[in-house]
Amino acid sequence: MSLDKDTVRKIATLARIKVEEDALDSLSGELNNILGWIEQLDEVDTDGVAPMTSVVAAEAPQRPDQVTDGDRVDAVLSNAPEEAEHFFVVPKVIE
């Protein structure tokens, strides 16, 4: 796939990027190089390669799912300027 000046101009418009007219040729060449590199990646055989999210095989540390220090509604609401039925009361905001 090859990008011409008109296509690069349209891409710049869609991306909301201002590109000067004299820079379209060089930008077209750069984008064509990037697309060529992507085409090379398409040729790589990835059959049998497991998908991964990181280059290192590591698992995130996890803690046990336990409720600790819960049911402290009164302590939490003690700092509220106003509360109703165990909820914070805030001013109504209407635009």
> Where along the chain do its domains lie?
5-42
| Mean pLDDT computed over 57-83 | 84
Per-residue confidence (pLDDT) for residue 56, from 0 to 100: 84
Is the model's pLDDT at 91 over the cut of 80? yes
pLDDT tens digits, residue range 7-54?
Answer: 999 999 999 999 999 999 999 999 999 999 999 998 999 898 888 878
pLDDT for the residue numbered 30: 94
Structure confidence at residue 13 (pLDDT): 95
What residues have CB less than 8 Å from 32, skipping those under 6 apart?
2, 3
pTM summary value: 0.50
Band the pLDDT of 71: cuts 50, 70, 90.
confident
Give the model's pLDDT for residue 35.
Answer: 93
Gap between the Cα atoms of 25 and 4, Å rounded: 8
